[in-house]
Structures are given as C-alpha cells and as structure tokens.
Amino acid sequence: MTLKITDVSHDEEFMRKLQEISGEDVSKCMQCGTCTGGCPMTDKMDGTPRQIMLLSHYGMKDKISADNTVWLCATCNTCYARCPRGIEIPKVMEAIRQLKLRENINKVEPNQIPPEILEDAPQIAIVSCLRKNTS
C-alpha cells in the first residue's frame, strides 16, 4: 500500500492518546509481519496487524478507522507472544478500539445480538464481546 505522508497526514493527538492508553511505543515495530503471520483473523480483516502498526506509527487515524481490523481482533495474544520487539500489540488494538468507543459509540448493540445466540452462547462469550465492543 502507498501511504501519502504530508505535513498534515499524521494526527498527533491520536498518536499521543494511542501511546497513553496502550502504554506501547509503536515506533519500535520493525514491520517484520510475524504478527500477521500468526493472527487467526487476518482472512476477514481489511488491513493486517502489521499494516495497523505502520499506520499507527504514522498517526493515520482515518485510515485505521476505515478498517475493520481492530474489531476482528480476538485478543488471542499470538502476536504478542511472537513479536521480536516485544510489543504488546493487543494493547495497541485495544487502545484504537477504546478511542472509538470513548466517543460513546457502541460497535455492538446488545439489543441487536440475535436472541438465539444470546440463549445459546456461554455467558463469557456475551460478556467479553460487550467488554470489547461497547462504550
């Protein structure tokens, strides 16, 4: 992908908040792609974890927001277990989700979960889904 980097393409406020909420320094990422290689959800993702790390490094908030990547993250920690720089990538994913959710926007509306799934699924599925997807 070609990123057009100009004097206004990076959102400094986004970069600052991302660092604050995640506690991770995304500039440590060396773009090796190991995270993408182990991620179980990449088939359905618009951008890969590696690409999200690159976009985060350049503060490209709008491009990140346009992707479904962070919402498909299952927090399985495979990327974190394998990252050669030791970056806790799930925290970066969580921070990006939080920045959206804290605008008081739910990604998943509890009352829109199909009733047959609510009845069928174990509580931990419902609770964790809502923890990750609601404000």
Partner 1 sequence: MKICYYPGCTLKTKARNLETAGIEAMRALDVEMEELERWNCCGVVFSLADDDLLHLLAPIRDLIRVKDAGHDKVLTLCSMCYNTLARSNLVMRDNEEKRDTINTFMEEETDYFGDVKVLHLLNFLRDEIGWDKVKAQVKVPLKGLKVATNYGCTLTRPDEVGIDSAENPTVFEDFLRALGAEPIHFPGGTDCCGTYQVMDNPEAADDAVARIITSATDYGAEAIVSSCPLCEYNVGKRQAALLEKKDDLKELPSFYLTQLLAVAFGADPESLGFELNHAGSLPLLKEKVLK
- Which residue's CB is nearer to partner 1, number 5 or number 81? 81
Indicate whether 76 belongs to the interface with partner 1 (CB under 8 A): yes
Q: Which residue reads 């959800």 in tokens?
A: 41
Kindly state the tokens that stand for 101: 């959710």
8-state DSSP, 107? S
Q: List C-alpha distances in Å: 132 to 25, 27, 59, 102.
A: 22, 25, 22, 12
Measured in degrees and rounded to the nearest 5, phi and psi for residue 133 equal -120, 5
Residue in 26, 53, 69, 80 binding partner 1, rule: CB under 8 A: 80
Residue in 27, 36, 98, 134 binding partner 1, rule: CB under 8 A: 98
Which stretch in 3-11, 27-35, 46-54, 69-77 sits in contact with partner 1 by CB under 8 A?
Answer: 69-77
CB–CB of 107/134 below 8 Å?
A: yes
Residues in touch with partner 1 (CB under 8 A): 20-23, 40-41, 43-44, 71-72, 74-78, 80-81, 88, 90-91, 93-95, 98, 107-108, 113, 117, 120-129, 131-133
